[in-house]
Every structure is written in structure tokens, then in C-alpha cells.
Chains A and B, each alone.
Chain A
Amino acid sequence: PSKADMHDEL
């Protein structure tokens, strides 16, 4: 169950 990627972090 994965959603958004870690790339949405800064």
C-alpha cells in the first residue's frame, strides 16, 4: 500500500 513518493519532501 504505497502512496506518494518521497520526492514530495524537501
Chain B
Amino acid sequence: MNAFRLAGDMTHLLSIILLLHKIRAMKSCAGISLRTQELYVIVFVTRYVDLSMKYYSFYNSIMKIVFLGTSISIVWYMRYHKVVKQTYNKDVDTFRHIFLILPCFVLALLINRAFTVIEVLWTFSLYLEAVAILPQLVLLQRSRNIDNLTGNYVFLLGAYRAFYLLNWIYRFFIENHQVRWIPWLSGLLQTAIYADFFYYYIKSWKNREKLKLPA
């Protein structure tokens, strides 16, 4: 495993720790999109169905279990925890899951590397992950006050995929990996979706101002 891949996984893990900290310590999920969190559960469940079938490494298995467990518990807190659920911005988090899930599923059926259950689900999870942040970005745009934790959470999520892009470049040139258009292009799209957010995040950080996205 190269340094970029590790950095990507660690920023991903850190983003989840940050969100769980907000939920557990501050008892708040204000500014967090439940739609996006539910999409992540679907992403992880469909991608990690191979967990029980194929063993890659101890690291790999542990990380998969952590991502599955944390994403499910975040959704649980936002839906059912009696204090946390009251901080959820239900009225502004209106993006419909199905508009993302259905096209991604159809695309995975049409464009995949092999027409098998595992491969189609894996491809679907990549397509869905690429766009899963959209409800969260819409929610941020509609929020007047974005607290630091939420801003940092989204920034780390974006940084995670940017590190993966570097990881793929490294694997291609240094480790002689094959060309893999499906994960590369969906990963590139996923990172590109954050471009606008990155711009305003860095600008607010440089000017020491509170983060605010233009509507």
C-alpha cells in the first residue's frame, strides 16, 4: 500500500471520527444530510458484500467493518437518538435518494467490467459514492451557519478521494497497474464535485471568516 492510499483512508476515517464526535459529544447533527449518510450506508453495503467471500488483508477487513459499522450508527443516531434527531435539519434536507440511486444502478447494469452480482454491485457503489455528497452540498448551500466541524467533515471527505486519485496515478506508473476507467472516472467526478466547496473552504480559512457557500 502506498502513502497516498493510506493518506486517503486516514482522511476518510478522520472525517467519520469528526462526524461521530459532533454527534456523540455535541449531541448535534445540525447541517448534516441524512440523505447523504443513508447513501453512504448503501455504498458500503453494496461494495463490501465480498467481505465474507474474499480476504485481502487484516487492514482491509477491519476498515470495511469500521466503515460499515460507523455509517450505520450515524444513520441510527440521526434517525432515532432522542436528542440528536431534534437537531436534524429535516426541512432543508429534501434531496431525493432515488434520483441518484436509480441512474447509478442502471449505469452499473450497462457499464461494468463483468456482468456478475458482485461486480455490478461494486460498480454501482462506485457510481453512487461519486454523487452521494450532493444532498450534503445542497444542505450546506441552504444553511446560513456552517459550523467548523461540519465544514471540516466535508473537506476531509473531499480530500479522501483526492488522495485516491494520486494513489491511482502512483499504482499505474510505479506498480504497473492496468487502466481502470470505471473507478478512475467515477473517482475523478467525485473529486470534481467538491471543487466549488474546496474553493470557498480555503477562501474562508485564509480570510479567517466563517464558511458560507453562495446560494
A-B contact count (CB 8 A): 27
B64 in contact with A10 (CB, 8 Å)? yes
Interface size for B (C-beta < 8 A) is: 20
Interface size for A (C-beta < 8 A) is: 9
Candidates A6, A7, A10; contact of B12 at CB < 8 Å = A10
Main secondary structure of the interface of B (DSSP, over half): helix
B60 in contact with A10 (CB, 8 Å)? yes
B63 in contact with A6 (CB, 8 Å)? no
A1 to chain B, nearest CB (A): 4
A10 in contact with B9 (CB, 8 Å)? yes
Candidates B9, B12, B54, B176; contact of A2 at CB < 8 Å = B176
Residues of A within 8 A of B122 (CB): 7
Provide the bound-state CA to CA distance between A9 and B122, in Å.
Answer: 11
Residues of A within 8 A of B147 (CB): none
Residues of A within 8 A of B167 (CB): 9
Provide the bound-state CA to CA distance between A7 and B5, in Å.
Answer: 13
Contact residues of B with A, CB < 8 Å?
A: 5, 9, 12, 50, 54, 56-57, 60, 63-64, 67, 122, 164, 167, 175-178, 180, 183
